[in-house]
Amino acid sequence: MAETRQGDARPLSPHLSVYRPLINMVMSILHRLTGAALYLGTLLLAAWLFAAATGEREFNLLNAVFAHPLGKLVLVGYSWALLHHMLGGLRHLLWDTGRGFSIPAVNALSWATIIGSITLTAALWTLGLSLAGR
């Protein structure tokens, strides 16, 4: 009964492209996108752990790949996605309690998520790079 025939031209309700982007909607999309990115990002963590468990040569090789500008870009993106998804998750956990649903609160929480994730990522890399250069 729940089956739909594939290929039938069925009317669709308007989707993303017809709406003016609102901050809450952008954060909702980013939450899903960062979640999907983190899914693939687990391969980076797995590779790093595996290289460390395999040997010094393999570990240094992987670190050299990570140290390449493109590798660094991927790692910055990974860390931002992680922090953004975590802050977005905190927002969702707050919503799960039934709080924060007024429009001003929703907008404030959404802006806090994106500003917070960028700030935290910058802070993390500043700390990490200063530690790496010690």
Partner 1 sequence: MAGYRTPLARVRGLGSAKDGTEHFLRQRVTAIANIFLVSFGILIIVRLAGADYLTVRRTLAEPLNTIALLLLILSGVVHMRIGMQTIIEDYVHADGYKVLALLINTFFAVVVGLASAYAVLKLSFGA
* CA angle at 113 for the pair 109 and 110, rounded to the nearest 5°: 40
59, 74, 76, 94: which one binds partner 1 (CB under 8 A): 59
Which one of the spans 17-25, 36-44, 99-107, 111-119 is the region binding partner 1 (CB under 8 A)?
36-44
Minimum distance of partner 1 from residue 27's CB (angstroms)? 16
Contact (Cβ atoms closer than 8 angstroms) between residue 85 and residue 38? yes
- The residue with tokens 């595996």 is 50
Using CA atoms, how far apart are residues 47 and 113, in angstroms rounded to an integer?
A: 29
* CA angle at 86 for the pair 91 and 35, rounded to the nearest 5°: 105
Cα end-to-end distance, the chain, whole Å: 65
Which one of the spans 17-25, 29-37, 98-106, 111-119 is the region binding partner 1 (CB under 8 A)?
29-37
Tokens linked to 70? 């493109």
Which one of the spans 16-24, 50-58, 99-107, 110-118 is the region binding partner 1 (CB under 8 A)?
50-58
Which parts of this chain interact with partner 1 (CB under 8 A)? 3-4, 6, 32, 35-36, 38-39, 42-43, 45-46, 49-50, 52-53, 56, 59-60, 79, 82, 86, 89-90, 92-93, 96, 124, 127-129, 131-134
